[in-house]
Amino acid sequence: MKLYNENMPAPNPRRVRMFAAEKGISLPLVRVELAKREHKSAEHLARNALGQVPTLELDDGSTISESVSICRYLEALYPAPPLFGRTPKEIGLVDMWIRRVELQLGVPLGAYWINCHPYTEPYAKAMGITRFGDYGEASRLRAIDRLEWLDGQLESEFLAGDFSAADLIALSLVDFAAFIGIAIPERATRLRAWHERVSKRPSASA
């Protein structure tokens, strides 16, 4: 296997690297530089028709894309330690939190990133993407609101009870938010404590 990915701050490849690190899986990495539009090359489009990373290439040459799907595949190959839950309830809670952080936080972050952030302006022009500044600013405010909402939802050390894939995915998004200028609000003390706790895990540096 080998993972086609991009370095920080790209959140989706990072969550797969962190997941593999938690499992003790050594994945050969192939960098696909987004700034150089290598993800839109004919070579990479043959691996992933959407031209995205991460993409996992299996030993038989077939590929799996979408970060959570890759993590589920790795979980099936290497079930210990379980990061998608053990019992039906745990599995349901982990899945719920993955969906929530991706939809509630990831979506507005992505909208702000592509519509407002100066880093993406040259990329948007090159790709023929129209940027909508008002929508991007509204998405920034929505992301801040969702960080505060997440703070209010934290009832234990980790999102779904025990440490899980949900925490890795949330960490990738919270750190990406900070990179693009959307920090955890000062009053979100539980979220700040969670972030410090998860960031201390060795996998966070993957």
In terms of domains, do 121 and 195 share one? yes
| Measured distance CA(18)–CA(144) in Å, rounded | 25
Given a contact cutoff of 8 angstroms between Cβ atoms, the answer to whether 201 and 48 are in contact is no
In terms of domains, do 69 and 102 share one? no
Which of 23, 45, 77 terminates a domain? The answer is 77
For the chain, the average pLDDT equals: 97
What is the domain-level CATH number for residue 156?
1.20.1050.10
In terms of domains, do 128 and 186 share one? yes
Which of 21, 48, 77 terminates a domain? The answer is 77
What is the domain-level CATH number for residue 22?
3.40.30.10
Closest CA to 110 of 138, 149, 150, 139: 139
What pTM does this model have?
A: 0.95
Which of 77, 100, 126 terminates a domain? The answer is 77
Would residue 27 count as lying in a domain? yes
Strand 2-5, strand 55-57: pairing:
antiparallel
In terms of domains, do 123 and 199 share one? yes
In terms of domains, do 163 and 188 share one? yes
Domains contained in the chain, number: 2
In terms of domains, do 200 and 152 share one? yes
pLDDT digits (tens, 9 = 90+) for 156-198: 999 999 999 999 999 999 999 999 999 999 999 999 999 999 9
Cβ atoms within 10 A of the Cβ of 173, count? Answer: 24
Checking if the pLDDT of 125 tops 90, the result is no
In terms of domains, do 92 and 27 share one? no
For 63, the enclosing helix (H) or strand (E) is: strand 63-65
Hey, CA dihedral for 92, 203, 75, 43, is it positive or negative?
A: positive
Checking if the pLDDT of 4 tops 90, the result is yes
| Measured distance CA(158)–CA(126) in Å, rounded | 40
In terms of domains, do 92 and 43 share one? no
Would residue 82 count as lying in a domain? no
The pair of three-digit structure tokens given for residue 199, joined into one six-digit string: 């960031």
| Measured distance CA(115)–CA(138) in Å, rounded | 10
Range of the domain at 61: 2-77
In terms of domains, do 41 and 110 share one? no
In terms of domains, do 114 and 38 share one? no
In terms of domains, do 121 and 53 share one? no
What's the Cα-to-Cα distance from 9 to each of 80, 86, 102, 181, rounded to whole Å? 28, 31, 16, 12
Would residue 172 count as lying in a domain? yes
What's the Cα-to-Cα distance from 26 to each of 8, 22, 91, 118, rounded to whole Å? 18, 10, 25, 35
| Measured distance CA(135)–CA(112) in Å, rounded | 8
pLDDT digits (tens, 9 = 90+) for 16-66: 999 999 999 999 999 999 988 899 999 999 999 999 999 999 999 999 999
Would residue 179 count as lying in a domain? yes
In terms of domains, do 58 and 129 share one? no
Would residue 83 count as lying in a domain? no
